[in-house]
Amino acid sequence: MSSALIVDIHTHVYPRSYMDMLRSRKAVPYVHDPVNATPRLIILSSDDDPSIPLDERGRPVDPSYWDINVKLAFMRRHGINCSVISLANPWLDFLEPEEAQTWAERINDDLEETCARVNQAVDPDNTRSLHEKETLFAFGALPLSAPRADIVVNEIKRLKTLPHLRGVIMGTSGLGNGLDDPALDPVWGALQETDSLLFLHPHYGLPDEAFGGAEVMNRYGHVLPLALGFPLETTIAVTRMLLAGVFDRFPGLKILLAHSGGTLPFLAGRIESCIHHERKFVANGGNVPGPQRSVWDVLQTNIYLDAVVYGTAGLKAAVTAAGGADRLMFGTDHPFFPPLDTSEDAEWPSVTTNYKAIHAAFDTEKEAVGAILGGNAARILNLK
Amino acid sequence: MSSALIVDIHTHVYPRSYMDMLRSRKAVPYVHDPVNATPRLIILSSDDDPSIPLDERGRPVDPSYWDINVKLAFMRRHGINCSVISLANPWLDFLEPEEAQTWAERINDDLEETCARVNQAVDPDNTRSLHEKETLFAFGALPLSAPRADIVVNEIKRLKTLPHLRGVIMGTSGLGNGLDDPALDPVWGALQETDSLLFLHPHYGLPDEAFGGAEVMNRYGHVLPLALGFPLETTIAVTRMLLAGVFDRFPGLKILLAHSGGTLPFLAGRIESCIHHERKFVANGGNVPGPQRSVWDVLQTNIYLDAVVYGTAGLKAAVTAAGGADRLMFGTDHPFFPPLDTSEDAEWPSVTTNYKAIHAAFDTEKEAVGAILGGNAARILNLK
């Protein structure tokens, strides 16, 4: 659709080693292999419904989840030059403490090795520029269930030594108590000190009761938890960080929020207003410190947004909240949301919807389109 | 701030009769009168914490909640010509079935009488135009807990006979099972048939667990439930209506969504994408009907949005999702979010923030500003 550089910063993989680990498990998350049929991936507790036969539980997973050649074909089909791949949810959140470090190192080494191998095969002498080939970089996973925060800190530092790693991906649970947990301070400190981008991504959604209970929720398949639960989970997580003063203590943090911030750009004004009216905060005579910096300042200093919002309405809020087009980055969410009729060479509507929204939102500003499609990612993540 | 007509379509009252009813109750919602201090209003179950002394529970309520002269002074202070007042949450949702009809009629007659009395006093011969005076209209309350839906239907029809009533306000619980409840079809039918605008407003928020539990939630006062819980409640409610095909069966419904749609304008694209990818729906080979009309079509045909979003980012998403500025209407949420330092004649930051956002979002389009501030409301609600 464009001859400009296109970088996909929201694209997931489950490495084979990770799939094998999920196969060895019987509790969520796990993989079940029906006889003579596609494997089933059960990652949401709402999908692990005993009333559903095991062979039909969760979602089918095909090689697009683990075969990097399928990813490369997807990239070529959609004109994507560079993908910054990340482990998909639920990452390593569920691991027993003693296995966390080993698995983080294994997965991150796998990611580095995949990127190195692919890039070497595509352009052995590294003579072509980024927009003339398909290239991979990666966000690493963290051993958040490890028994001590310094294990997480060490992995953040080790990732800086891997040539194709460009930051880390994390869910909203942190060390198990959310992202306003003071025990995370060493992790924020290490991310700030190493200038590592954190890609914050939802997984847990909202309690069934938020949607009127499991019966109501399941009536509409995955629409309510994916369309609403995911974005609000991200919004709650980053708002808790704000309210707890994380961005005051770590003003150099760089956080990329999935799905254009969940709903943060839209709700930023309301959050800011509620903070200014909250009597519990010290600034208003209360005894809870409360945030020192404004939501807008954080959005325009610490936060980056992907452009995975499927429409110009959301995109305009994102750009306005971010103070311009230079903090947004194109993404696909591949391999999730494949077309329902799987013809081999068709473009994915979930991808073209986002392409079209970016072009429509900036019809008179070609520079903004190029920046969001790839220029920003190349600059922010130092891709070359 | 402007010489144009300014209409506030989001402004609440608790009539004295309603306050007295709350005083007679001991369970949420209720009013507690401390000795020699301001009454306390306890409307959220999260506020009814037995570990908090009764005299400090909930929020203080002053006459701005029930004295219409305070509302009129607020209007003059902010240049508002016309207020469309509505009963504040939780409306009549909690009433025993046998009392619902009586209370709905009493409250709605109270509202009609207040509007008639004020408008008569302000302009006895009704010779001045709307933007030269302060005028009141109202949205009525519905007896949703009544034992039969036809009692609700009858009240909708009766409201059309009251000269100052301009629609109804409703929460997200409906008849108790959410707004996708098929038992609501007679109510939707009556609203459509009488061409009555429905103002959909949040109250219940999200379960504490969505915010990490009550302890986390309370740490930040009301910020999380008010800034995030309220908007998502609205979004979930209207999305359930969409998914259940309410807008397919009642294509003439007119719904005004509080707080610029909660988060609907921002998430509309993601909702639409998730619907298109949901295998459970008939269009995709499943056995659940699923919605027939697109989210964008509903946003631009059935839905109106207030402009209570406290920033240009949200406002731009709202206008883009609505397909233009002619479906947005200014509001204040008075008497909620008063300034913390209560000097008698100061403007409220919660109001000026919204004024400024409207002006900033449309700096080159004066017509859009005038439309949002009052022109749209006058046209849509037939105010004169």
Q: A236 — contact with chain B (CB < 8 Å)?
A: yes
> What is the total residue count of chain A?
384
Distance from CA of A170 to the nearest CA of B (A): 17
Contact B267, A311 (CB under 8 A): no
Contact A330, A7 (CB under 8 A): yes
Q: A122 — contact with chain B (CB < 8 Å)?
A: no
Contact B169, B117 (CB under 8 A): no
Q: Is the peptide bond before B29 cis (omega within 30 degrees of 0)?
A: yes
User: Rounded distance, CA B133 to CA B370, Å?
Assistant: 17
- The residues, ordered by sequence, that sit 6+ positions from B235 with a Cβ below 8 Å of its Cβ are A228, B261, B262, B263, B264, B267
- The residues, ordered by sequence, that sit 6+ positions from A170 with a Cβ below 8 Å of its Cβ are A91, A142, A144, A198, A199, A200, A201
Q: What confidence score (pLDDT) does residue A301 get?
A: 98
Class of domain B7-381: alpha beta
* C-alpha closest to that of A286 among A294, A277, A295: A277
Cβ-defined contact of A222 to B278 (cutoff 8 Å): yes
Instruction: Please give the average per-residue pLDDT across B143-168, as a whole number.
Output: 98
- Give the nearest chain A residue to B339 (CA atoms): A277
Contact A253, A246 (CB under 8 A): yes
Cβ-defined contact of A231 to B353 (cutoff 8 Å): no
Q: What confidence score (pLDDT) does residue B149 get?
A: 95
- Which contiguous run of DSSP H or E holds residue A137? strand A135-141
Q: What confidence score (pLDDT) does residue A3 get?
A: 65
Residue type, B11: T
Which of B265, B273, B353 lies nearest to residue A266, judging by beta carbons? Answer: B265
Average pLDDT per consecutive 10 residues, chain A (384 residues; last block may be shorter)? 82 96 95 93 87 90 95 96 97 97 98 98 93 96 97 98 98 97 98 98 96 93 96 98 98 98 98 96 94 98 98 97 98 94 80 94 88 98 95
Q: Within 13 Å of residue A114, how many CA atoms lie on the same side as its CB?
A: 28
Q: What confidence score (pLDDT) does residue B321 get?
A: 98
The tens digit of pLDDT for each residue in B206-262 reads: 999 999 999 999 899 999 999 999 999 999 999 999 999 999 999 999 999 999 999
Which of B219, B265, B277 lies nearest to residue A350, judging by beta carbons? Answer: B277
User: Rounded distance, CA B108 to CA B290, Å?
Assistant: 36
Q: A273 — contact with chain B (CB < 8 Å)?
A: yes
Q: Which residue has the higher pLDDT, A344 or B339?
A: B339
Which of B259, B265, B273 lies nearest to residue A310, judging by beta carbons? Answer: B273
Cβ-defined contact of B311 to A321 (cutoff 8 Å): yes
Domain extent listing, chain A: 7-381
Instruction: Please give the average per-residue pLDDT across B311-334, as a whole number.
Output: 98
Radius of gyration (C-alpha) of chain B in whole angstroms: 20
- Alpha helices, H only, B1-96: 16-23, 68-77
User: Rounded distance, CA B177 to CA B182, Å?
Assistant: 9
Distance from CA of B370 to the nearest CA of A (A): 22
Q: What confidence score (pLDDT) does residue B59 get?
A: 87
Contact B329, B307 (CB under 8 A): yes
Q: Is B1 a residue whose pLDDT tops 80? A: no
- Which contiguous run of DSSP H or E holds residue A360? helix A349-361
Q: Is B366 a residue whose pLDDT tops 90? A: no
Structure-token pair, residue A242? 């704000």
Contact B105, B54 (CB under 8 A): no
User: Rounded distance, CA B117 to CA A79, Å?
Assistant: 67
User: Rounded distance, CA B193 to CA B206, Å?
Assistant: 33
Mean pLDDT of chain B: 95
Separation in Å, CA B297 to CA A286, B56, B242, B268: 46, 47, 11, 11
Distance from CA of A181 to the nearest CA of B (A): 10
Which of B277, B288, B316 lies nearest to residue A337, judging by beta carbons? Answer: B277
- pTM above the 0.90 mark? yes
Long-range contacts of residues B280-285, Cβ cutoff 8 Å, at least 24 apart: B280/A220, B280/A221, B281/A221, B284/A340, B285/A340
User: Rounded distance, CA B96 to CA B119, Å?
Assistant: 34
User: Rounded distance, CA A210 to CA B262, Å?
Assistant: 15
Q: Is B2 a residue whose pLDDT tops 50? A: no
Q: What confidence score (pLDDT) does residue B344 get?
A: 62
Structure-token pair, residue A174? 């942190």
The interface residues of chain B toward chain A in range 160-179, judged by CB-CB distance below 8 A, are 177-178
Structure-token pair, residue B108? 């709605």
Q: What are phi and psi of B215, to 5 degrees?
A: -65, -45
- Alpha helices, H only, chain B: 16-23, 68-77, 97-122, 149-159, 185-193, 214-219, 223, 230-243, 246-249, 264-276, 295-301, 312-322, 349-361, 366-370, 376-380
Structure-token pair, residue A248? 């005051």
- Give the nearest chain A residue to B235 (CA atoms): A228
Instruction: Please give the average per-residue pLDDT across B348-352, as a whole number.
Output: 94
